[in-house]
Amino acid sequence: MRWLDYLIRRLLMAILVLISVSIITFFIARVIPSDPAAAWVGPRPTQDQINKARVQLGLDRPLWIQYWRYATVLLKGDFGTSVRTHQPIINDLKAYLPATMELVLASMIIAIVVGIPLGVLSGAYKGSLLDHSTRLVSIAGVSMPTFWLGLILQLFFFARLGILPLGGRLSNEVALYSPIHVITGFYFLDSLITGNWSAFKDTLLHLILPSFVLAAYAIGLVIRMTRSTMVEVLNENYILAARVAGISEKTVLFVLALKNAITPTITVLGLCFVYSLTGAILVEVIFSWPGLGIYVTNAVLSIDFPVIVTVTLVVTVFYVLINLFLDLLQATIDPRIRL
């Protein structure tokens, strides 16, 4: 019963956060000095056209009525229409969101594959050259500006070595001669499912640089968190007993110790996943990645308020769901959290 009460409290809090974010973003979008009606009509509008557009968009109503209409439509799964493209925003999300999610998931895989082993080894060999080197990598990953790292990697791997593409999601040649049959929206997965190996290789090459740049911050956090928890766990008596019993060091580190040290790292990974959704905006602009970053950047430049509010709300939903999942996971592992 206590677990159920905890779940209900967390769900109510999550709903409250979503409502608060929708209210804040909606009213901020309305107080910014601009005219969505003029943007809706297009370049060089007449005053009569602007007035008709204002009535059509409901901008002549009081703010609280505008928000009520927006929230009512939103609950039906309708995010409205883009002022810039005049297309339903839900259709744009279906086109742009998979690209961003593919980039974010790839960066999280890199963070797990690189960060956790380095953190384990750094904690196991505390004070060694490996430990100092790994800590330097961790500090660099957290500290380096994303745009600087992205430009440096482009200069080195594209301009100097010529082994990786500068940007984009797929080469023009591959898109023309070996087009991907879109199933899930994830090019890497779709090309693998359909056996389109030319597109599979090209997608992988385009994914390497932006995903690594996006993963740099997460790698740094994962290394630091894993190292600190490993240092504590390796001082426990059961670890000493396992070593005395002759269990291999690999098993001691990556099975016995890591199993008890991984929980804080999982929490960090969940938060890094949400951070990467917002961090992907800058990465997508640098690498011309056709995801939410490019979409919301164009929306900001054209003052497309419905798109700005919708993307903000989508990111908030991911943030709330990830935090809710992590809270429930921790409450399941440690019953004291539910009390």
Domain range list for the chain: 47-78, 90-291
Residue-wise pLDDT for 199-208, tens only, equals: 999 999 999 9
**Element housing 131 (H / E):** helix 129-143
Q: CB neighbours (10 Å) of residue 12?
A: 10
Residues 6+ apart with CB under 8 A from 310: 79, 80, 89, 93
Q: Mean pLDDT throughout 17-27?
A: 81
Residue-wise pLDDT for 35-78, tens only, equals: 666 666 767 777 777 777 777 767 777 777 778 887 887 777 77
Alpha carbons 118 and 60: distance in angstroms, whole number:
58
Q: What sign does the dihedral 90-91-93-94 (CA atoms) show?
A: positive
- C-alpha distances in angstroms, 182 versus 99, 138, 169? 12, 37, 13
Alpha carbons 119 and 142: distance in angstroms, whole number:
14
The pLDDT assigned to 39 comes to 65
Say if pTM beats, i.e. exceeds, 0.85. no
81 three-state secondary structure: strand
Residue type, 294: I
Q: Which of 192, 216, 203 is nearest to 164 (CA)?
A: 203
**Cβ density class 219-257: b for 16+ within 10 Å, e for less:** bbbbbbbbbbbbbebbeeeebeebeeeeeeeeebbbebb
Residues 6+ apart with CB under 8 A from 184: 98, 190, 193
Higher pLDDT, 292 or 76: 292
Query: 90-291 belongs to which homologous superfamily?
Result: MetI-like (1.10.3720.10)
Residue carrying structure tokens 């602009």: 285
The pLDDT assigned to 64 comes to 78
**Average pLDDT, whole number, for the chain?**
84
Q: Which of 67, 82, 16, 42 is nearest to 310 (CA)?
A: 82
